Amino acid sequence: MKLLIVEDERQLSEVLTALLKQNLHETDAAYNGIDGEDCAMTGVYDAIILDVMLPGKNGIEVLRSLRANGNSTPVLLLTAKSEVEDKVKGLDTGADDYLTKPFAAGELLARLRAITRRGSEFIGDELRAGNTVLDKNTHELSGEKGTVKLAAKEYQLMAMLLSDCRRIIPKERFVEKIWGFDSEAEYNSIEVYVSFVRKKLTAIGSDLQIKSVRGVGYCLEVPEC
């Protein structure tokens, strides 16, 4: 998953970033409500971790603006232990869940899994198309001839293709989602990872094919999707 952390406490933000990267998630960070809202409005994130107490614009204001502009990205709100009003207001404004500080790492990860499942068109912890299954927890790709483990960027690329089955995904979208806006990744980086995934699809006997659309991007060709 690609996640946005909007938290003004730099130390906590760094801890969260390290935790999420250990669990094979890509992360971006913003340290005030204005920058956080700008990042969130791009729509490239699978979920947002949003603190309530932020400089510039508080978390409730950011959330209200996102929902008013049609942004439905799942939001996990971080609140202080005693601020019951913030929890109620956040949920009423459109937060998917909240977590009280301090919190355990395992609970944060579990709540993120829960809100992203609710926001997904796929059920459970797997993405399926044709004879192929992508496990969202283990990042394993399975077909008729076996199972392979995908590296982090391979997994993100495959998950994007499965989530927009048969639709053409522009190369720019892959760069934004997988490498981030500030990345210097070039389009040939995408081609390299597409090549890696194609080889793995062949190795496991998948009936899926990643098709190149010249000058645009890629789409997934599948018998049934």
Domains of the chain, CATH where assigned = 2-118 (3.40.50.2300), 126-221 (1.10.10.10)
The pLDDT tens digits of the residues spanning 43-71 come to 889 899 999 999 999 999 999 999 888 88
CA distance 222 to 130: 6
| Pairing, β 169-170 against β 217-221 | antiparallel
Residue matched to tokens 């950011």 = 62
pLDDT at 18: 96
pLDDT at 128: 86
The amino acid that residue 104 corresponds to is A
* Residue 161 neighbours by CB distance under 10 Å: 26
pLDDT at 77: 93
pLDDT at 118: 62
Q: Is residue 84 over pLDDT 90?
A: no
pTM to 2 decimal places: 0.59
